[in-house]
Structure 1
């Protein structure tokens, strides 16, 4: 499966520094949860830049229930897609529940599809519910990409700063969900996890 131009697969990346989870509560498992799999690593890439510049079949948009949230990722996608995307959202009265995914055409984007999802707000007293909802965001976006026949997906970091998710916890949820999907499904063939400039990738 050909990756988007300029994107290096995880299997071709240098060895990442180890993360000390000793101070993280609740901490991820200390033993490896998943065995090394070269085939999975060939289908995964990490990239930082303008998500709309990638030549992929689908991109994700992290937004609110009315698909109108103003954040760096959403604003850029709407700008490049052109007025037709906003018009469709308004005309069809599109809405998206927390953890769900809604698919629209990409219009003037390089991608054929935009997969919209709503990340939950994180409150420590509702830790389990927030983690489950974030898992559902990634799972439903990946399943929607598969159902749309997308062979490549640019997957943005869904937990925007305003959602208050601890970065390490959010990264653990994201990577676990992506790994399970890649083990079980053939599509998308390549998943590119994107950090959007000027936001630094939090994985």
Structure 2
């Protein structure tokens, strides 16, 4: 059984010098934050906090990512289309699990996502990706290309402006069981 999921670990320094870290997770129809990756999978290890209000946003982020967009487009079957009118491929597809949300992904000459726009009701989220490279440790290069810059906007306001310094795509932690506390605190959101 395939359950869509994503775990994003963020560690950064804000413009004001304050450090910030968080682990954002979405698995199926649940969204939560973790203080450590895999929080509460082992009893007494870490804290998971239910975030049902962020489910749509996190599913959109998953399916508008450079790795998620091709899978979502393929899953869209007859609802996915490609337009070459601008000289570049623009792939339109529905966002899985988010009823009514439609994405348009503009691809580079290397078929990598450059710009993805997602319309979800009155909300427009854009994702701009550039400077693709293998950011894995030099001893673990596997040609898994990730964008070096990622800018996410919501209704024109920048909400994330990230620069990739290192990835661990060769050492994936893909287990995302929903912690009991999250299941108890959050009723799955319907579309």
Give TM class, smaller chain: 0.3 to 0.5
Structure number, greater radius of gyration:
2
| TM-score of the two chains, using structure 1 as the length reference | 0.31
Higher strand fraction (1 or 2): 2
Choose between structure 1 and 2 for higher RCO, CA contacts under 8 A separated by at least 6 residues. 1
Structure whose residues are more often helix by fraction: 1
